[in-house]
Chain A
Amino acid sequence: MGKLMYSCEQAARLASRAMEQPLGAWQRLLLNTHLVICRRCTNFTRQIAFLRRAAHRVPETLEKDGD
């Protein structure tokens, strides 16, 4: 069973990759299982999603009055 559980590093790596392309069914299952029991990796996953929302706002933060 041990090898069926992801470490935090593996889970975090996959959470990052999932933002680029869909994971396979098995990877998704193992990742989601890890996230259910791991608050740290859940926090990480939410944080990188937030950082993407922030990045999309960067161009408008570069706007200034008068130009």
Chain B
Amino acid sequence: MSEDKDWAQALEAHRKYLQRYAMFHLHDAALAEDAVQDTMMAALAQGNRFEGRSQLRTWLTAILKHKIIDLVRSRGRGLPAGTLSLDDDGSAEASFTPKGKWVDPPADWGLPDAALESQQFWRVYQECCRRMPERHALVYSMREVMDLPSDEICKKLDISMSNLHVILFRARLSLRACMTRKWFAVEHG
């Protein structure tokens, strides 16, 4: 009995991290809480078989990824349209002229990796992720942050590989434009 209690406490120690992780993908506190709660219940039922804290967190995060996707699927929220055509909302087209030239040509970001050490950079990054159209944002964060393989995302969200490419392309255009405006074209210090 006390073993069960220890296990529950070990899980509880990760709740805040999992909540932030879910929040990053879902942008909705109540939905994120549901995903975390489902994760906790699933983990509790499995019993403790972990050596250390970081191993447990990795395992919990893997469960949480699936719970996030299940929740999104069951509510149909933020999902890409099943039959997205190349030009259904013009968001990629707005980046290019009809002849395919850049409207706002990408300038050099220099050596951007130093920014990864700045807390302010991460605030801007999160803000730019939230500004993406909702149905692009989740696909982008599944691919790039959860690091799920493309074919797995297509299967889970029931979209074609070419839809996935279109969505990721638009998401990247949107994110790089926002990061240029709000970070790389701005003086820091």
Contacts and interface: CB of A to CB of B under 8 A. Distances in A.
Interface of A: 7-10, 12-13, 16-17, 19-21, 39-41, 43-44, 46-48, 50-59, 61-64, 67
Given A48-B172, A52-B144, A63-B17, A20 B101 contact: no
B64 to A, nearest CB: 11
Given A43-B107, A54-B116, A56-B144, 9 more contacts: A7-B96, A8-B96, A12-B169, A12-B173, A50-B113, A51-B176, A61-B122, A67-B13, A67-B16
Chain A, interface SS category: helix
A9 B106 contact: no
B109 A43 contact: yes
Contact of B165 (A10, A16, A41, A47): A16
Interface residues of B, number: 42
Interface string B3-37: 00000000001111100110010000000000000
